[in-house]
Amino acid sequence: MDIYKQISVMDNVDRLHYIVAAGVEATEALSALNNMFSLIECNMAYEISYYNTILLLVGQTKFNRKFSRKSETPLIINMRADKKRAPLIFASHDYSLINTALTPKHIPPPTVKEGIIYYFINHKDYTEKHPRGAGHGFNVMLVNKKDEHSYFTGFGLPGAGLSHQEISYELINLFNRSAFDDFYTESLLNNSPLQHQERLNRLRDKTITLEEFYDNEGGWINIHSIYIDINKIKTNFENPVCRCGRVKKYFIPTILACISASASASASASAIIGAILHHAN
């Protein structure tokens, strides 16, 4: 069920694109997103976590003023990231890793940083085999570096994080599933263009190994490197109400409560907010 059919605090603009309704406080809309959202993907989950982080840093009054429907930066969540709108206007990119040569087999370099969002992509044929699949790739955040290994978490992943190879196997398993496991049916296939039918029939029984996954564009690829920029928050909000250290100490992990059915949800939320604020410090 879509969010706008459940609650009235957000207006549905387009598929997976929502804006705070007129006359609704931004904090009320955010609370609904935390607790009542029913249709979401990984990029939107990070946008929600960013809004929660900003709220903790600036306080309710300033948050409501900045993200009201009447403001220039109304509270919006959308699966298509757009750096010109909130909350991503309060984020920056770590350009030190963007457009650099890929490491062997798409393995993250040791210079990846905690609190930054990175991306893992699936095998190049994933969308052909799974036209309605949700495993094209993972937006993930580095939450821990231990013994020279990096661990990332994200939507539906353990809060303690997975290594790059473990994430690769998650994506491989999603590729190797039946082509009809992702809201796709034989009837939809039969009613699709012949060229599309031929492509899917060619791939429907295809499975891949880790080596083939890496050889066909799968794995870590640096196309995002986004993080909450505390300096931009200070510039846009006079006298943020609390310092990052205090937010860390008193934060109660309610972010991403929309995935509370997952056993890893609260751990993921806690890890994500901690990583965001670690980088902000």
Output the pLDDT for position 174.
94
Is the pLDDT reported for residue 7 higher than 80?
no
- Please give the Cα distance from 225 to 132 (Å, whole number): 26
Contact 41, 15 (CB under 8 A): no
- Nearest CA to 210 out of 162, 173, 182 is that of 173
- Please give the Cα distance from 70 to 249 (Å, whole number): 33
* Residue whose tokens read 């661990």: 151
DSSP element (H, E) containing 44: helix 42-58
Output the pLDDT for position 273.
58
Is the pLDDT reported for residue 42 higher than 90?
no
Backbone φ, ψ for residue 175 (5° rounding): -70, -40
Question: How does pLDDT run across 91-148, given as a tens digit for each residue?
Answer: 888 877 765 555 666 888 888 888 888 899 999 999 889 888 889 999 898 888 887 8
Is the pLDDT reported for residue 250 higher than 70?
no
For 47-61, 168-182, 188-202, 205-219, which range has the lowest pLDDT when averaged over its residues?
188-202
CA distances from residue 3 to 127, 132, 133, 182, 246 in whole angstroms, order as listed: 26, 20, 20, 21, 33
pTM equals: 0.77
* Residue whose tokens read 């804006």: 19
- Nearest CA to 164 out of 140, 199, 180 is that of 140
Q: What is the mean pLDDT of the chain?
A: 79
Following DSSP, what letter does each residue of 14-28 receive, concatenated? Answer: ETTEEEEPTT--HHH
Backbone φ, ψ for residue 89 (5° rounding): -70, -15
- Nearest CA to 14 out of 45, 44, 49, 54 is that of 44
> Average pLDDT for residues 157-161, to the nearest whole number?
85
Q: In 3-state terms, what secondary structure has residue 121?
A: strand
Question: How does pLDDT run across 197-211, given as a tens digit for each residue?
Answer: 888 888 988 999 999
- Please give the Cα distance from 164 to 281 (Å, whole number): 25
- Nearest CA to 170 out of 126, 117, 111 is that of 126
How far the first Cα of the chain sits from its last, in Å, is: 39
Contact 66, 47 (CB under 8 A): no
Residue with the larger pLDDT of the pair 105 and 195: 195
> Average pLDDT for residues 71-100, to the nearest whole number?
81
Could you tell me which residues come within 8 angstroms of residue 49 by beta carbon, excluding any fewer than 6 positions away?
Answer: 255, 256, 269, 272, 273, 276
Q: In 3-state terms, what secondary structure has residue 240?
A: coil
Residue with the larger pLDDT of the pair 25 and 7: 25
- HEC string of 190-228 equals HCCCHHHHHHHHHHCCCCCCHHHHHHCCCEEEEEEEEEE
